[in-house]
Amino acid sequence: MPDSMTIVRHVVVFGRVQGVGYRAFVAEEAERRGLAGWVRNRRDGTVEAVLSGPAERVADLIAACRRGPPAARVERIAESDGAHLLSDLEAAFAILPTV
């Protein structure tokens, strides 16, 4: 895919991903890549994120999410289209409250 093609991906990260700085890790990595979207904890122990930007950069961030920060243990990531979860007004990256 060309780098200029904008995509929106929804990811749910399973494993030891809460209480280990995972949301901050995703937010920092997204901002470093110039991506828009959000990340939040879910009550079921997963972390959920919506990532929007050039396809190559989004794929690169998803690869980083598979590693996570040092204290995390990522078991798996569920990935799907996320266009319906991102408002046109969201131009930056945010950490949202737990749902």
Instruction: Specify if 84 maps to a domain.
Output: yes
Per-residue pLDDT tens over the stretch 43-77: 999 999 999 999 999 999 999 999 999 999 999 99
Owning domain of residue 68? 6-95
Determine which one of 9, 33, 40, 41 is catalytic.
41
Distance, first Cα to last Cα, the chain: 33
Shortest CA distance to 74 belongs to which of 64, 84, 82, 83? Answer: 64
Give the span between the Cα atoms of 89 and 99, in whole angstroms: 21
1 in any annotated domain = no
**CA distances for 21 relative to 5, 14, 54, 62, 73, angstroms:** 30, 14, 25, 16, 12
Domain count within the chain: 1
pLDDT for the residue numbered 89: 56
Distance from C-alpha of 5 to C-alpha of 46, rounded to nearest angstrom: 29
- Contact yes or no for 9/82 (Cβ under 8 A): yes
Is residue 91's pLDDT more than 90?
no
- 23 included as an active-site residue: yes
Residue 12 lies in a domain: yes
Across 26-44, average pLDDT: 97
From 9, 23, 43, 57, active-site residue: 23
On whether residue 43 sits in a domain, the answer given is yes
Q: Which residue has the tokens 């799907």?
A: 80
What is the model's pTM?
A: 0.90
pLDDT given at position 84: 87
On whether residue 58 sits in a domain, the answer given is yes
**Known active-site residue 76:** no
**53, part of any domain:** yes
CATH number for 71: 3.30.70.100
Q: Is residue 13 part of a domain?
A: yes
Q: How far is CA 12 from the centre of its chain?
A: 8
Q: Is residue 40 part of a domain?
A: yes
